[in-house]
Amino acid sequence: MPAISYPVLKCILEHIEANCRFSISARCPEISRVEKNIPLLVERLDFIMRNRVGINDNSFYVSSKETERWYSDRMSDQPCTLQLCNFKSKFSAERNISTKYGAEAATRRIVEYLLGGRNKIRVKLFIVFNCGYQTMQYLFGICNVKVSALKCSSIGLIKLNVLIENPLKELHFVVNHPTDFENPIARTAEKIVITNYGYDGPNFWLSAHRNLPNKEVIIDTYEHGFTDIKILKLIEYWKENHKAVGSSFSVCKGNGDSIEMFLENVKERFQGNYVKLKKTDTKTFFNVKAVSIKIDSESKIVVYGGRPYRLFPMSMKVVIKVMDIESSEELSEPSEKSDFSIMLSSYSPLVVLNLFGLLIALFFCLIH
């Protein structure tokens, strides 16, 4: 069989699912010598627990037999177990590892083996929670990561500046302080979704949100300071300052609030006109009219009611969009799963064999 040229091999490996690629590299020394120079495509990379890393549908977790010491920094004398689980196939396997490693040292070796030394890792969805931040730090300085969508908890964006390249297509995060909006990760993201606030400063709400440079801003929590009056002030500010066409802002409203009454207030305050939404999706929009407000000869603001990104079915949100003056009020929004939920491609029937090969490779990585 003729040898495969490097350009052909590069094209093939770049489009192989990440975990299958790890397994192939572990079995073939010739490939492993060049494989890390080829960009790695990852659908989902997550750090949601200590001593655990998730890559697509695979989870790699190092645990101690002494459960009461799982989170101890001094575990070198405790037997540890490497657990590998594939959520799609429900396959899982585990193997005891050398006692010369504690759980944290073993986890670092695994992260370095799988992801270290790579010129470029392209990640569609990167998730890091508080409990997984320490494990995520093992990536610092060992690889280059390009992220499309980032979801993080209240760890603070400043801690991720070292790893995350700007700009993101989408950012889901907790705002701990108004200065978080000044972080380059937040400012350059095309879309931001605020899942919670870690501070209470009603005097900052309008000033912190009205000049956000993001194309789309979603406040996906009821814990915010946007009363109806402040939403009206936001609309007024956008109108007076000629907000760019394409800008969008949505904020949740409490159960029982009348969207019809709010839209009536918007219409009266800004001398707007009721318009009928075209192709209204009842799963996304409420079956009510929208209010159109003219900004100038080139643009207008359209305000309407819709359903929140992830909250209770009977709750509601107010959506504010700046549109071209000539465009129709034909509005569409992505379904809850289309933008942020990443659907992974199916694995081949050899998934179990590949996972066994990968488990063995990681085991040998930890005994040398």
Mean pLDDT by 10 residues, the chain (368 residues): 70 87 85 88 96 94 63 57 84 77 87 91 96 94 93 91 90 92 96 89 78 94 83 95 95 77 94 78 62 94 80 73 81 48 44 56 58
Nearest of 170, 220, 180, 186 to residue 204 by alpha carbon:
180
Boundaries of domain holding 19:
1-38
Residue 102 near residue 76 (C-beta atoms within 8 A): yes
Q: Does a structural domain hold residue 357?
A: no
User: Do both 31 and 139 map to the same domain?
Assistant: no
Q: For residue 167, is the peptide bond before it cis, meaning its omega torsion is within 30 degrees of 0?
A: yes
339 part of a folded domain: no
Alpha carbon 30 to chain centroid, angstroms: 35
Give CA–CA dist 90/244, Å, rounded. Answer: 48
Are 57 and 190 in a shared domain?
A: yes
Same domain, 159 and 89: yes
Do 303 and 217 share a domain, yes or no?
yes
Q: Where are the alpha helices (DSSP H) in the chain?
A: 6-14, 18-27, 29-35, 103-115, 133-136, 184-188, 205-209, 228-240, 259-270, 351-367
CA distance 64 to 192: 38
What are the Cα distances from residue 125, in Å, to 172, 230, 251, 274, 324? Answer: 11, 33, 24, 39, 32
Q: What count of other Cβ atoms lies within 10 Å of the Cβ of residue 46?
A: 20
Q: What CA–CA distance (Å, rounded) separates 246 from 14?
A: 35
50 and 161 housed in the same domain: yes
Round to whole Å and give the CA distance between 125 and 54.
11
Distinct helix (H) and strand (E) counts, the chain = 10, 15
CB 112 within 8 A of CB 36: no
247: amino acid identity, one letter: S
> Does one domain contain both 299 and 214?
yes
CB 81 within 8 A of CB 63: yes
Which residue, 179, 173, 164, is CA-closest to 196?
Answer: 173
Instruction: Report which secondary-structure segment, H or E, holds 24.
Output: helix 18-27
Q: Are residues 20 and 65 in the same domain?
A: no
Q: Residues 118, 174: one domain?
A: yes
pLDDT at 252: 87
**Residue 351 CB neighbour total at 10 angstroms:** 20
In a domain, 298, yes or no: yes
157 plus 292 within the same structural domain: no
Residue type, 60: F
Q: Are 42 and 15 in contact (CB under 8 A)?
A: no
What token pair was written down for 317? 């949100």
Own/partner contacts of 223-232, CB < 8 Å, gap of 24 or more, are 223/196, 223/197, 224/194, 224/197, 224/251, 224/252, 225/200, 225/201, 226/251, 228/262, 228/265, 230/205, 230/206, 231/262, 231/318, 231/320, 232/265, 232/266, 232/269
Last residue of a domain, one of 172, 199, 226: 199
Give the pairing type, strands 52-55 and 191-197. Answer: unpaired
**Number of domains the chain is built from:** 3
Instruction: Give the C-alpha separation, 323 to 301, whole Å.
Output: 6
Same domain? 43 vs 189: yes
27 with 57, same domain: the answer is no
The three-point CA angle 95-97-99 to 5° equals 150
- Residue at token pair 């992220």: 147
- Specify whether 214 is located in the same domain as 140: no
Dist. CA 276–CA 294, nearest whole Å = 16
Residue 151: what residue type? K
